[in-house]
Amino acid sequence: MKKVISLLLATTFLMFALASCGDDPNVTTDPAATTAGTTDPSGTTGGTVKPSDSLTPGSIEFEPVTSATDNAIAIKLYKENIKNLVIGDTYTDTDGTVYSVYSVGIGAGYKVCGDYAYSLESLVVNDGNIKKIEGYSFQLCTALVGVRIGKGVETIGDLAFFGCSALESLTLPETLTTIGPAAFNGAAIKELVIPASVTTIGQEAFANCRSLTKVTMPSSFNDEATLKSIFLSQYKNIQFTFVD
């Protein structure tokens, strides 16, 4: 059964993120380290993603998730300048403790976004046990070009990729059920496949995606009012394919 949920923009948090992106003058980037490109199914951007570009000990702040399995954590904050981020099932901390990554928490990516010191270009969530990409996680990551979210993820939260204006390539998993309000608002996606598993899409989830011309999505969303709530007036310019 389809469900379209209302858009509740957290204005205070958005202003905080805008002010925080790229606010550390002591961190610099190496222009030669990576090149921008689009994410392909193997999870690469302009070449092979190196282990050093992924989660290294001490690169994140995290908190326990008591409702999940033992040693499960939610990523609270990325502390390092990561251009090509790969999130796997586990994270090994500086003391050698191995944790199970359950989710990416609210606003976790604000330090890897922006036009200055921090510039995330690609994101890959590997197939596995990660269940949630929470709200505001990677909003305003304006250098982000490719996102591949692997099997296991069930929820992408409100404004998770809001304002990612360079985001051209997006792969969503067959396990996904919920896409939050304004989750990909303002992205540069040209073609989109929303898996048949998705039952809830929030208001304006793909609004202002002005390059979007082709969408494949579940037939349960096939009515004009619903499409307008998800894509706004842009829905008139999109060629839809509906699947059961």
d(CA 238, CA 100): 40
Rounded average pLDDT over 24-48: 34
Rounded average pLDDT over 147-176: 97
- Asked whether residue 33 carries a pLDDT value surpassing 70, the answer given is no
- Asked whether residue 208 carries a pLDDT value surpassing 60, the answer given is yes
d(CA 40, CA 46): 9
d(CA 21, CA 120): 11
| pLDDT tens profile 114-130 | 655 568 999 999 998 89
Question: Which is more confidently placed, 72 or 13?
Answer: 72
C-alpha angle 168-169-174 in degrees, rounded to nearest 5: 145
